[in-house]
Amino acid sequence: MNQLYIHTFKTKWGIFRTAATTKSLVLVSMPGESQESFDDRIADRFPGFTIERGGEVNKLAEKEVTAYLNGKLRKFTVKFDIHAAPFQKKVLKYVARIPFGQVKSYGQIAAIVGCPRASRAVGTANARNNLPIIIPCHRVVGSNGIGGYGGGLELKRKLLRHEGVTNL
């Protein structure tokens, strides 16, 4: 039987929701996403899983996200699992390694992962990131501006300012 644990927690930035197996984080919702939308994503991505509240991985994710948002954590240690197509997984694995306070452009990432003309596909991979904040897709920007963000551009700017990036 496949088990998924869900958890909701409040931060000074808003309400976050997480989902995890016993071993790894698989889904994070950003402030502003409804419970219904979160539940729909779980049903779509994890059909047949038994759902329970709690979970040790979710507790660690809460602790780390809260510490990050409070300026006390720069690198996450919570284990995560990327559920994505191979190219998207390759992109997100790279994005997960972008250091706190640094940014890379969609084009730079496309070149790094071996597909220099795939900057739009890099954008799509970031848009489908199920683990925002943990996989810091807010650190991926356009070559001539901030680019997009599933949580909204104001939240992206706020996250970047939080990390000391002020030139966007």
Residue whose structure tokens are 């991505």: 45
Whether 115 is catalytic? no
Catalytic residue among 20, 30, 42, 137: 137
DSSP, residue by residue, 33-81: --HHHHHHHHHHHSTT-EEEE--HHHHHHHHHHHHHHTT--SS----B-
Residue 124, by phi and psi: left (phi above 0), alpha (psi -120 to 50) or beta? alpha
Among residues 168, 132, 167, the alpha carbon closest in space to that of 150 is found at 132
Strands of 25-29's sheet in order across: 25-29, 14-20, 3-11, 50-53
Gap between the Cα atoms of 86 and 106, Å rounded: 17
Gap between the Cα atoms of 42 and 102, Å rounded: 31
Amino acid at 29: S
**Residues forming the active site:** 137
